[in-house]
Structure 1
Amino acid sequence: MPAQPPATVELELARQHARELARACQERSPDSLVRRLGLAREKQWVRQALKLAGEPGLVLDLPCGAGRFWPVLAERANRVILAADPSQEMLDHCVVQHPVDSLQRVRTFQSSVFAIGLPENAVDCIFCMPLFQHLGESEHRLAILREFHRVSRDTVILSLWMDGKVMAWHRRRQAQACGQDSQRVLFGKALVEGEFREAGFDILGHRDFFPGYAMRRLYVLRKNS
């Protein structure tokens, strides 16, 4: 089956963002202890990745979705945050939902992930959370990584879902029992790290959400040329 064109990929991202918008509204008031603990761990996880990246001063959050990570990115007083998303609807939602003092730290603009509307070496770091686990085609991942390589002058932080974890096994069993395919891509370490290097990045390190158990992993990459 031929790979989907980038426009189709971004249409699917828009659908994912619509679901994220609904979830973001719900997460404004976490309704259980487990959920609150999960959100606290998520913030700690992102802080660890930012520290590994050298606490970058100018960060591009792309695609930013509902801006759920802006409060963590803004914890460093001298950090400037650019936030872009393919969906103007999502950006409009952010303006309504976030407090004015938070928005003063963030500059938003609409942009494709395949062609970022910024010049070469424009930011210290690109922060990419809700994207790669939805990209099943290697050519699309490489196209985006090369665009990240063009726009970042130093590092990239990105999230994906790793295979070989306890939750990956549970998820696969559940999908088989229901007769459904997962909507998210589980990556093998050799495959994804090979793509990072092919796109011109060295791997500074990674941080797992819950090591050995959860599928979510943050990679911190640095340009090697």
Structure 2
Amino acid sequence: MSKPRPIELEFSRKYDQQHAVQYLHKHHDGLARRLSHWRDEQLARQALKLADEPNLVLDLPCGAGRFWPLLAERPNRVILAADNSAHMLATAQASQPAEVVSRVEKFQTSAFDITLGPNAVDCIFSIRLLHHIAEAEHRLAILREFHRVTRDTVIISLWVDGNYKAWKRKRLEAKRASQGRASENQNRFVVKRQVIEAEFRQAGFEIIGHQDFLPGYAMWRVYTLRKVA
């Protein structure tokens, strides 16, 4: 019996060479973006500390490799990096410092069907993926695949409710819908906190902790999870 084809979502097809280069530059474009990147790194370091500074980390999706220097700060850490887009991997290879790139083992794969065996890594580091996933069944498919591949922890970020920006976004989307202007191309979504936290538990994880980008204001939240079942 043949293995079913992995799930492929529309947003993942946009990352051609042009989009990959744009993605590389956007996090350093202007003071606000650079401050945002600095805060992302601060949250990532806190999450890695909560995860007991894992030695073998899978960065998925790695994008243009913007977290590779941070992951490489610990000299004994083994870094695997994967992305669904070959263009993203090529951009990361070309743009990140050579001494960092030499530390990273890169491969192309889908978060829905990771080409690694069970319990292959200490930690999966997954920043800015889940906010693209609208359907609970798709989020659970990713979480269950993460559960299969990690032997210990997962670090994951997404948009959650319970803050000013999520409230503002909900109002804007309601206004657009009332005017018949609902976006057909929407590919970023807010998930209720109690919903995603229930999905974590359903997939076999417990929550070690979380950090908010700007508590009470911003939608970004980083969760550190531990595999329990």
TM-score using structure 2 length? 0.88
Once the two structures are superposed, the pairs formed by residues 143-158 of structure 1 within 5 Å of their partners are 143-158=141-156
Q: 1:108 maps to which residue?
A: 106
Is 1:201 the counterpart of 2:205? The answer is: yes
Deviations 1:132-180 (A, max 9, x none): 0011111111111111111100000001100121111222334455534
Q: 1:79 aligns with which of 77, 80, 97?
A: 77
Moved more, 39-48 or 177-186: 177-186
CA distance in 2, matches of 1:199, 1:40: 31
Compared CA separation, residues 12 and 35, structure 1 to 2 (3 A):
closer
Q: Which residue of 2 aligns with 1:49?
A: 47
Task: Report SS of the residue matched to 1:75.
Answer: coil
Aligned mates of 2:68, 2:197 — CA distance in 1:
27
Between the aligned partners of 1:223 and 1:53, the Cα distance in structure 2 is 11
Deviation at 1:203, TM superposition (A): 0.8
1:213 alignment partner, one of 186, 211, 217: 217
- Separation (CA, whole Å) in 1 of partners of 2:132 and 2:57: 22
CA deviations on 1:174-217 (whole Å, 9 max, x unpaired) are 44555344531111111111111111111111111111111000
- Which amino acid in the other structure matches residue 199 of structure 1? A
Unaligned runs of 5+ in 1: none
Q: CA deviation at 1:27?
A: 3.7
Amino acid at match of 1:222: R
In the TM superposition, residue 13 of structure 1 has moved relative to its aligned partner by 1.7
The alignment's C-alpha RMSD in Å is 1.9
Change beyond 3 A, Cα 1:27–1:186: closer
Distance 1:154 1:84, change over 3 A: same
Q: Which amino acid aligns with 2:36?
A: G
Aligned length in residues: 218
2:13 maps to a residue whose letter is: A
Q: For residues 215 and 59 of structure 1, do their structure 2 counterparts lie closer, same or farther at Cα, with a shift above 3 Å needed? A: same
Partner of 1:14: 13
Q: Unaligned stretches of 5+ in structure 2?
A: none
1:34-73 matched pairs, under 5 angstroms: 34-73=32-71
1:31 aligns with: 30
Query: Which residue of the partner structure matches residue 191 of structure 1?
Result: 195
The share of aligned pairs that are identical, in percent, is 52
The CA deviation string for residues 83-122 of structure 1, in whole angstroms up to 9 with x for no partner, is 0011111111111111211101111001111111111111
